[in-house]
Amino acid sequence: MSNNLETIVKLNGVHKIYKMGDEKIVALDNVNLDLKKGKIYCLLGVSGSGKSTLLNIIAGLEKPTKGEIVFKGKSIEKMSEKKLAIFRQRYIGFIFQSYNLMPTLTALENTTLPLIFRRTPKKIRTEKAVDMLKAVGLAKRYKHKPSQLSGGQQQRVSIARAFVNQPEIVFADEPTGNLDTKTTEEMMNLICGLAKKHNQTMILVTHNLELSVYCDEIIYIRDGKIEKTEDVSASKITFQQEVSVNE
């Protein structure tokens, strides 16, 4: 993959230290990282390695103890909570292991939530949500609530919600942790296909090395430090998407 891609996120000397009484826990230790537009990254490490903390820092969910996170030329660690909320609404999508769907809302209503927060007119947000649900293979499940859907179907709604506002970066935190092997393959093909189709950056957090084959670059994390990075884009398998991804 070309090295001339636009840098969308740059981390400079990022530290994250938590205090528990008199004890200091170093979650991130001098992390320096450049993330390029349109690439799929895998943050790979065991539990407690710091990978989820790093995701939260990049997404603006937590502030670093020290260091700088530059997103499209702006230092997000200096933003107020209000500006961070607007930043996340405008630029970021999230896919979670536990789906995080609202149980009282239908698949369509769950998918429209990011657009409601952006004050998108109802007609437009409904049209966009319907298109995304079709894209993830839920054309006949618009009116179903989470309790009426399988785990795989709930994750498809979560994926539709993450992509509906066309974010520049999608964060996927152990997105297939609750799914069986076949459904995991379907979900990874789906989210990677969507990200590649729209030239979006995706950051996948996992402890599962097998999922790294879907990514362009693996970032190995151990004890809060980046141990090494590995560009696998040249040798990675090209996966045939199993569902139709519409414009």
pLDDT, tens only, 198-230 = 999 999 999 888 888 899 999 999 999 999 999
Kind of pairing, strands 92-96 and 74-75? unpaired
d(Cα 106, Cα 84) in Å, to the nearest integer? 28
96 pLDDT band (50/70/90 cuts)? confident
15, containing H or E segment: strand 7-20
> Can you tell me whether residue 55 is helix, strand or coil?
helix
pLDDT greater than 50 at residue 17: yes
- The total number of residues shown for the chain amounts to 247
pLDDT greater than 80 at residue 236: no
The conformation of residue 176, written as its DSSP 8-state character, comes to: T
101 pLDDT band (50/70/90 cuts)? very high
As a whole number of Å, the end-to-end CA separation of the chain is 24
Q: What is the reported pLDDT for 188?
A: 92
Amino acid at 29: D
159 pLDDT band (50/70/90 cuts)? very high
The residues that bridge with 230 in the sheet, in sequence order, are 218
Q: What is the reported pLDDT for 27?
A: 95
- Of 129, 141, 139, 134, nearest in space to 166 by CA: 129
Q: What is the reported pLDDT for 232?
A: 86
Range 106-130 average pLDDT: 93
Q: Are 127 and 100 in contact (CB under 8 A)?
A: no
Q: What is the reported pLDDT for 233?
A: 76
- Tell me the backbone φ, ψ of residue 189, rounded to 5 degrees: -60, -40
